[in-house]
Structure 1
Amino acid sequence: MTHWQTYDAPPAMAGLYARAALRQRVSGQQLPDTGLRCVMVIDPVRLGAYRKVCGYDNTGLLPPTYPHVLAFVLQLALLTDPGFPFPLVGLVQLAERIRVLRPLGGVARASVSVYLGELQAHAEGAAFSLVTQLHDALGLLWEGETDLLCRKAQLQGQWAAPPAPAELPAGEVTRWLAGKDIGRQYAKVAGDYNPIHLSLPSARLFGFQQAIAPGMWSLARSLAALQHHIPDAGLQFNTQFLRPVPLPSEVVLNASAPGEDGHFSLTGRDASVYLAGEWAPL
């Protein structure tokens, strides 16, 4: 059972980053049963900057990936809580599932909640899910579930192999350059200052040959290019992050024909598949 802690105001981001920097080692093999809640107000200036960085048109609706930005401070608070056993730096995003239950229009404020799913063995460490929800006066409005991997942790048990990548569509929708500074641009609007996204020197400190694009930016940029291609609500997105997008690089978005369901993928010029996903009715 989740034990909820409610904030009257969002916690200070600076203190959370300080906690993240101090956590370097795995301290246990159990996830806390704490959930965090807070009523969050949507800043139209920040939202506009997010749309610009990710390529969304201003349709009057929140982008389907924006609730993650709204909830990021709570996600960070939960993942740096003293009861959370893994270091934040080094967590790998494996997959993202987003459910848009109703149109995200006219949302000026919402109750945001985050909690952790089940911890399970993985071939490369230990995996768990981070669940984020938005509620308005009518109930659940949006839900996201992020699968994360901690390579530093080891669990006993049978590893459940992930499903095969979604069907890869053949039709090119568009392509764009993921510039070397996109990690810094995204950090300014999303608050996600992960060093592996910011620059070549900071990425090399963590074993990367070059900086890599934030996974949620790559997904947001893909869905922005498809926003007039798919329904606004009553659907779910299921996405697997297969390999990081190196910065800088040109990427190609492929997708099925417009409709209620379909597939999409983001690939490199050398045919490397960075992410593969699908959309479908709820």
Structure 2
Amino acid sequence: MTRQWQDLHSPDSSASLYLRALSRRKISGDQLPTSGLRCRLRVQPDNLAAYRRLCHFTDNGRLPATYPHVMAFTLQLQLLTAADFPFPLLGLVHLHNSIQVQRPLGGIDGLHFAVYADNLQPHPKGGTFELITEAEDGLGLLWRETSRILVRGLKLEAAASEPVEAEPASELAEVTRWYADSDIGRRYAKVCGDYNPIHLSAPTAKLFGFPKAIAHGMWSKAMAMAALSGHLPAAGYVFEVDFLKPVRLPSEVVLSASAAGAQGELRLDGHADLLHMLGRWQPIAPN
């Protein structure tokens, strides 16, 4: 497939994109657009510092591996609210996130981003697609993210196979635990721009079927990667997680993981045997 690219000087304002999202509540088709968006985006030092504080990353001279996701979020939002995108933004569910760090993320003041959607597949609850985000510097591909997203209620002609249930990793040692307080969704949104109502308050979460506000999945992943920084190499690895039971706010969670090494596993548990997140890291497979 030949992808058509739209090159932007800058993304639209997030306020206008959220207004566009609020105006679209129905599925309008069952085909993903073949177009994508590209834009050069600069690191904002004050925002980066606030993100490090929020997610407990130390300042080691490199971008946190999850920070390019924050840089590209408005560009992703623009793709997902475009007129030719068939699924309403509100109600999409983030199931899986994979980040590849090709080379060390140091000495960066800006990156060239490309964002597109691909791989629409049937699912027992509707359909899934992948939101792909790539970041390049002057030497080529530096970082890549794949988010698998569920569209509930989507009807596709192909039969849906039952998803493979993630197997909880065993014999993992506790690394740390943290308390997700009731306003972490609002604090994350202020820094990262993700104002999905399910994260902001109990009343807004109830509009979408959640009894309480839930933590952003990418905040939980960032907190895990910050806590496991001593387990991970500087580059040449992929870190992926499955988002399982949401973290209802407020609550305490426990992060357990394998020992430091080229590959390993992690899990994020809550009270009452709730399993919130399973993940793994390993070297990037050669092409």
Which bracket does the TM-score occupy, shorter chain normalised?
over 0.9
1:234 corresponds to which of 233, 236, 240: 236
Residues of 2 paired with 1:190 and 1:253: CA distance? Answer: 23
CA RMSD of superposed structures (Å): 1.0
Residues of 2 paired with 1:199 and 1:239: CA distance? Answer: 25
Are residue 100 (structure 1) and residue 106 (structure 2) matched? no
**Equivalent residue runs for 1:1-282 within 5 Å:** 1-169=2-170, 170-282=172-284
- TM-score normalised over the length of structure 2: 0.96
Residues of 2 paired with 1:59 and 1:204: CA distance? Answer: 40
Question: Retained in 2: the 8 A contact 1:262–1:280?
Answer: yes
SS of the aligned residue for 2:119 comes to: coil
Identity of aligned pairs, percent? 50
Q: Give how far 1:232 is off.
A: 1.6
Which runs of 5 or more residues in structure 1 are unaligned? none
Structure 1 stretches (4+) deviating beyond 3 angstroms? Answer: 160-164
Question: Retained in 1: the 8 A contact 2:185–2:199?
Answer: yes
- TM-score normalised over the length of structure 1: 0.98
Residues of 1 paired with 2:161 and 2:248: CA distance? Answer: 28
Q: Give how far 1:167 is off.
A: 4.8
Question: Retained in 2: the 8 A contact 1:51–1:57?
Answer: yes
Q: Give how far 1:12 is off.
A: 1.4
Question: Retained in 2: the 8 A contact 1:166–1:277?
Answer: no
Paired amino acid for 1:73? T
Summarize the Cα distance change of 1:4–1:145 in structure 2 as closer, same or farther, 3 Å threshold: same
Residues of 2 paired with 1:160 and 1:94: CA distance? Answer: 16
Which runs of 5 or more residues in structure 2 are unaligned? none
Residues of 1 paired with 2:110 and 2:163: CA distance? Answer: 36
Q: Give how far 1:246 is off.
A: 0.5
- Report the number of matched residues: 282
- Could you give the per-residue CA deviations for residues 122-173 of structure 1, whole angstroms, max 9, x where no partner exists? 0000100000000000000000000000103121213244344255142100
SS of the aligned residue for 1:119 comes to: strand
